[in-house]
Copies of this chain bind each other. A is one copy, B any other.
């Protein structure tokens, strides 16, 4: 692609100057003593020839490629990935960079390949992204240059970007307390594995912690806590059915994510109960289905686009090594109401 493009030498020749002069003018180098007229001639020549520098040649010399690698474990299985990438893409464009994307699929061989591929291309930095917020170990090979962890933390003291799940937990609990819910709040989605193993999830523990903190402050205890093997609709459905079989019916449900809430809605619908008149529901993530549900589901949004953007900013503009928390905004929707009379 893009053969027969004008080179710097062409520009210099047309301007009647040397390559050196042309290079300096086009790069806006300060402290050079080229005349105003020389500047004019170079700019004019570049313009006329439609000159665009050959970045391969430039980066051979400068070791900069204006390219960032976005290495992730699994892009495809979650549709949140798109927003992460989009945020990164936007921020990269603003800084005149592009994104080289690779996926490891959690496979060591693929990871090895992905890392070699990006290092061979001399990227200026690596964003190492995880699809589930978790702690991980960064492959040593990429530590030679700038690295930012996205949706993950590590023990290497690298800058990282993660959502503020604990804050989200507090918001969620506060939203219910505010409406007057107190002693009949149930929680769906406890999960030992996710809560105890930071390499599986950091979100579960943080969300739970935030919820507990806000409830404790108001001196409120949870009515019930349901454990779920996974955070999928079918588990939310089963948990909700279980709750409805108990003597005391909850006035509000907190689901650990929107898919669980979706399942809970199904169980409530079958039981002939209506949201929010009979039971309020609130959850986490702001999955697209949250807005599609009837009634629309109140939730706290994972700020993926902002996170992607922040990661690029940290990488290129530099930033502290401690984790950078991105707020999860509360989306108040129709699934919330004060407890029934």
Chain B residues contacting A116 (CB-CB under 8 Å) are 52
A45 located at the interface, meaning its Cβ lies under 8 Å from any Cβ of chain B in the complex:
no
| Contact among B55, B232, B234 for A121, CB-based, below 8 A | B55
A16 located at the interface, meaning its Cβ lies under 8 Å from any Cβ of chain B in the complex:
no
- Bitwise, A131-158 to B at CB < 8 A (1) or not (0) is 0000000000010111000000000000
- Considering only residues 1-24 of chain A, those with a C-beta below 8 Å from chain B are 1-3
Min CB–CB distance A235 → chain B (angstroms): 11
Chain B residues contacting A117 (CB-CB under 8 Å) are 93, 96, 98
Min CB–CB distance A67 → chain B (angstroms): 7
User: For the complex formed by this chain, how many copies does it contain in all?
Assistant: 2
Q: How many residues of A contact B (CB 8 A)?
A: 66
How far, in whole Å, are A124 and B56 apart by their CA atoms in the complex? 13
How far, in whole Å, are A119 and B118 apart by their CA atoms in the complex? 19
A313 located at the interface, meaning its Cβ lies under 8 Å from any Cβ of chain B in the complex:
no
How far, in whole Å, are A1 and B64 apart by their CA atoms in the complex? 9
**Looking across the interface, which residue of chain B has its beta carbon closest to that of A122?**
B56
B99 touches A294 (CB 8 A): no
Known contacts A2-B119, A60-B54, A144-B1; is-contact A75 B85 (Cβ 8 Å)? yes
Q: Which residues of A contact B (CB under 8 A)?
A: 1-3, 52-57, 59-60, 63, 65, 67, 70, 75-79, 81-83, 85-86, 89, 93, 96, 98-103, 110, 113-114, 116-126, 142, 144-146, 232-234, 237, 259, 262-263, 266, 269, 288-289, 292, 294, 305
